[in-house]
């Protein structure tokens, strides 16, 4: 059997990590079996349409490399792939249920439904539709029609017995039918609800495996009943658990980014996000954490999915991103990091220079955007922004004259360096520490701030080498001048 899976977002906003994880599992399953991955847009709620929602979903998938084989933009043999374009199909299927006596027209107003719910709650009963229209006399119906009321179509849920659903992660989950109510299949605006549209589409599109959020588990019996009413065989359904915030509540903005697109902006790598998300509820074995996309595709298996909710561990994602950054080749990393740099300095970056900077920063950044903090001074002209206190640091605090003297000697030695390499620079400058009676690290700290404006940087002499003779000397002299000015 050919495996066909789908990611079926409703375009009400940008996709969050939970959404994308279901997309990832669906994609992995399809790719693992050489099957088909489908993108379907579930836009059946006219009130919740958000502009750009579809584009946001697509760009998230594209960024992560979860390419789809059939979908709104690429088409396919089972289209259209946008539910609002399939209204005719749902209407026909709703009609079929009506004729089979599996559904009925309901004329109850929202006000009446609201009232019924209120009364039930007052009586401490579960709020459910009271089935008022389930057995309407023909003349009553004509009366409602005459009043110009537009009905909804409701499913005729069995009043007794039980419905067994099957979930890939949990096995059989049984529901008593008397705890279910007659849910709406088609709204009064003619649009289907999820309970009709998703079932019809999954069947018509020959979906073999449905991967969706756990929040759907309570409505699974409805879906099984609809499949049965149509005489269809349900696909295998896997309800994936939720991703929780550190407080075990719903993941929200406070816990980092909400949209996966924000992770892209911050400089997370697609492979790292994929790897991390895959491991939230799935495992390869008992010891592997870094797993390539290819390995994921080769070994992904529904059997290793677990049903318990996972708390989002932002530190681990960050660590993993660092691992992937360190594994990137130099050109790739340079290209990835470039936009962040150009954005920060407001101009074009010299790629030849960047190429020499990369080896210095690669193992010092965990996020692409950290390139700015770590290396912007390589790309800026003009005076660096730091104050004298930072320049002096702890060791030279209150010892302006000593610092001035030390800097003078550093400048002298640096000027005398013939071949501008980090080895030559270190050979020239390191001995100065002993001569000046300070620890090498303290002297280097002074020079570091002078040359970079920062206290945490890549190794000093390599930095000076890449910066070049001219810039380095200019910055050293500038620092000297500031000290002299401070000394009066």
Partner RNA sequence: GCCCCCGUCGUCUAGAGGCCCAGGACGCCACCCUUUCAAGGUGGAGAUCGCGGGUUCGAAUCCCGCCGGGGGCACCA
Residue matched to tokens 């406070």: 254
Q: Are 117 and 127 in contact (CB under 8 A)?
A: yes
Backbone angles phi, psi at 346, to 5 degrees: 65, 45
Looking at beta carbons only, is 289 or 342 nearer to RNA?
A: 289
Looking at beta carbons only, is 69 or 442 nearer to RNA?
A: 442
Looking at beta carbons only, is 26 or 460 nearer to RNA?
A: 460
**Residue 474: left if φ>0, alpha if ψ -120 to 50, beta else—which one?**
alpha
Shortest distance, CB of residue 364 to RNA, whole angstroms?
4
Rg of the chain, C-alpha, whole Å? 32
Residue 130 CA to residue 113 CA, distance in Å, equals 8
Looking at beta carbons only, is 176 or 487 nearer to RNA?
A: 176
Task: Give the containing element (helix H, strand E) for 211.
Answer: strand 209-213
CA proximity to 152, closest of 187, 183, 182: 187
Shortest distance, CB of residue 381 to RNA, whole angstroms?
22
Shortest distance, CB of residue 373 to RNA, whole angstroms?
9
CA proximity to 16, closest of 53, 69, 65, 70: 53
By CB neighbour count within 10 A (0-12 exposed, 13-18 middle, 19+ buried), where does 125 fall? exposed
Q: Are 36 and 4 in contact (CB under 8 A)?
A: yes
CB atoms within 10 A of CB 466: 20
Looking at beta carbons only, is 6 or 209 nearer to RNA?
A: 6
CA proximity to 393, closest of 431, 361, 459, 441: 441
Shortest distance, CB of residue 424 to RNA, whole angstroms?
13
Looking at beta carbons only, is 82 or 261 nearer to RNA?
A: 82
Q: Are 194 and 218 in contact (CB under 8 A)?
A: no
Residue 185 CA to residue 197 CA, distance in Å, equals 8
253 flagged as catalytic: yes
Rounded to the nearest angstrom, the gap between the alpha carbon of residue 63 and the centroid of all alpha carbons in its chain is: 10
Residue 301 has which token pair?
A: 């298996």
Q: What are the residue ranges of helices labelled H in 214-259?
A: 220-230
Looking at beta carbons only, is 169 or 411 nearer to RNA?
A: 169
Shortest distance, CB of residue 485 to RNA, whole angstroms?
25
Shortest distance, CB of residue 123 to RNA, whole angstroms?
9
Residue 463 has which token pair?
A: 């930095």
Residue 71 CA to residue 80 CA, distance in Å, equals 8
Q: What is the greatest pairwise CA distance in the chain?
A: 109
Shortest distance, CB of residue 348 to RNA, whole angstroms?
26
Catalytic residue among 2, 250, 253, 316: 253
CA proximity to 215, closest of 13, 18, 25: 18
Shortest distance, CB of residue 366 to RNA, whole angstroms?
7
Shortest distance, CB of residue 482 to RNA, whole angstroms?
20
Looking at beta carbons only, is 145 or 347 nearer to RNA?
A: 145
Task: Give the containing element (helix H, strand E) for 89.
Answer: helix 87-99
Strands (E), 133-182: 152-155, 162-167, 171-176
Looking at beta carbons only, is 81 or 312 nearer to RNA?
A: 312
Quote the Cα angle for 351-452-455, to 5°. 125
Q: Which residues are catalytic?
A: 253
């Amino acid at each position: 059997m050919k495996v066909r899976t789908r990611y079926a977002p409703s375009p009400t906003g940008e996709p969050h990590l939970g959404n994308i994880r279901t997309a990832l599992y669906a994609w992995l399953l399809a790719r693992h079996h050489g099957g088909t991955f489908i993108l379907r847009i579930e836009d059946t709620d006219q009130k919740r349409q958000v502009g750009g929602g579809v584009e946001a979903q697509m760009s998230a998938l594209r960024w992560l490399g979860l390419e789809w084989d059939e979908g709104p933009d690429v088409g396919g043999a089972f289209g259209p792939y946008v539910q609002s374009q399939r209204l005719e199909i749902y209407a026909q299927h709703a009609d079929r249920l009506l004729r089979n006596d599996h559904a009925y027209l309901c004329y109850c107003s929202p006000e009446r439904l609201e009232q019924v719910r209120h009364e039930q709650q007052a009586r401490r009963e579960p709020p459910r539709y009271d089935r008022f229209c389930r057995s309407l006399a023909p003349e009553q119906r004509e009366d409602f029609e005459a009043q110009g009321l537009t009905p909804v179509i409701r499913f005729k849920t069995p009043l007794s017995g039980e419905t067994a659903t099957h979930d890939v992660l949990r096995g059989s989950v049984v529901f008593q039918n008397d705890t279910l109510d007659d849910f709406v299949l088609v709204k009064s605006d003619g649009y289907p609800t999820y309970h009709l549209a998703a079932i019809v589409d999954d069947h018509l599109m020959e979906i073999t495996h449905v991967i969706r959020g756990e929040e759907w588990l309570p409505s699974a019996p409805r879906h099984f009943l609809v499949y049965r009413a149509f005489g269809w065989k349900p696909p295998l359904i896997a309800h994936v658990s939720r991703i929780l915030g550190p407080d075990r509540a719903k993941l929200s903005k406070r816990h980092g980014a909400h949209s996966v697109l924000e992770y892209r902006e911050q400089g997370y790598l697609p492979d790292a996000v994929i790897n991390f998300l895959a491991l939230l509820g799935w495992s390869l074995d008992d010891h592997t954490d870094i797993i390539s996309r290819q390995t994921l595709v080769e070994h992904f298996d529904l059997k290793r999915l677990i049903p318990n909710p996972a708390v989002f561990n932002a530190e681990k994602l960050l660590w993993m991103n660092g691992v992937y950054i360190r594994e990137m080749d130099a050109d790739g990393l340079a290209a990835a990091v470039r936009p962040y740099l150009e954005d920060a300095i407001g101009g074009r970056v010299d790629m030849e220079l960047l190429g020499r900077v990369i080896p210095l920063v690669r193992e010092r950044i965990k996020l692409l955007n950290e390139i700015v903090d770590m290396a912007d001074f390589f790309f800026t002209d003009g005076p660096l922004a730091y104050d004298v206190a930072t320049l002096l640091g702890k060791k030279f605090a209150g010892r302006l004259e000593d610092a001035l003297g030390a800097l003078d000697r550093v400048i002298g030695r640096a000027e005398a360096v013939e071949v501008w390499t980090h080895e030559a620079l270190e050979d020239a400058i390191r001995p100065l520490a002993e001569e000046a009676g300070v620890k090498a690290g303290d002297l280097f700290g002074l020079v570091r701030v002078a040359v970079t404006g920062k206290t945490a940087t890549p190794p000093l002499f390599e930095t000076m080498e890449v910066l070049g003779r001219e810039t380095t000397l200019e910055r050293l002299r500038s620092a000297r001048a500031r000290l002299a000015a401070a000394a009066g």
